[in-house]
Amino acid sequence: EIVLTQSPATLSLSPGERATLSCRASQSVSTYLAWYQQRPGQAPRLLIYDASNRATGIPARFSGSGSGTDFTLTISSLEAEDFALYYCQQRSDVYSFGQGTKLEIK
Amino acid sequence: EVQLVESGGGLVKPGGSLRLSCAASGFSFSPFAINWVRQAPGKGLEWVSSISRNSDYIYYADSVKGRFTISRDDAKNSVYLQMNILTAEDTAIYYCARVFPRIADRGSFDVWGQGTMVTVSS
> Which residues of chain B are at the A interface, by a Cβ-Cβ cutoff of 8 Å?
35, 37, 44-47, 50, 59, 62, 95, 97, 100, 106-110, 112-115
Establish how many alpha carbons lie within 13 A of residue A9's alpha carbon, considering only the half-sphere containing its beta carbon: 3
How would you classify residue B15: left for phi > 0, otherwise alpha for psi between -120 and 50, otherwise beta? left
Q: Are A103 and A86 in contact (CB under 8 A)?
A: yes
The span from the CA of A105 to the CA of B114, in Å, is 26
Share of chain A above pLDDT 70, in %: 100
pLDDT tens readout for residues A16-43: 999 999 999 999 999 999 999 999 999 9
The span from the CA of A81 to the CA of A75, in Å, is 12
- Picking from A49, A50, A97, the nearest residue to B44 by CB comes out as A97
Residue range B96-113: mean pLDDT, rounded: 93
The span from the CA of B63 to the CA of A94, in Å, is 14
Residues of A in contact with B113 (CB under 8 A): 43
Whole-number pLDDT of residue B87: 98
Whole-number pLDDT of residue A69: 98
| CA B63 to mean position of chain CA atoms | 14
Residue range A56-82: mean pLDDT, rounded: 98
The span from the CA of B2 to the CA of A94, in Å, is 25
pLDDT tens readout for residues A3-15: 999 999 999 999 9
State which residue of chain B sits closest to A40, comparing Cα positions: B42
pLDDT tens readout for residues B39-73: 999 999 999 999 999 999 999 999 999 999 999 99
Interface touch B100/A97, C-beta < 8 Å? no
- Of B26, B21, B29, give the one whose Cα is nearest residue B5: B21
Inform me whether the pLDDT recorded for B31 exceeds 90: yes
Residue range A42-69: mean pLDDT, rounded: 98
Interface touch A89/B114, C-beta < 8 Å? no
**A74: confidence class by pLDDT, cuts 50, 70, 90:** very high
Q: Which of B50, B108, B111 to mutate to test the interface with A (most CBs of A within 10 A)?
A: B108
Whole-number pLDDT of residue B102: 83
Whole-number pLDDT of residue A84: 98
Residue range B76-89: mean pLDDT, rounded: 98
Under 8 Å CB pairs connecting chains A and B tally to 59
Q: Are A55 and B110 in contact (CB under 8 A)?
A: yes
Interface touch A43/B46, C-beta < 8 Å? no
Residue range A36-56: mean pLDDT, rounded: 98
Residues of A in contact with B58 (CB under 8 A): none
Interface touch B112/A91, C-beta < 8 Å? no
Q: List strand residue ranges (DSSP E) for B8-101, in order.
A: 10-12, 18-25, 34-39, 45-51, 58-60, 68-73, 78-83, 92-100
Q: ∠ CA(B103), CA(A48), CA(B78), 5° rounding? A: 40
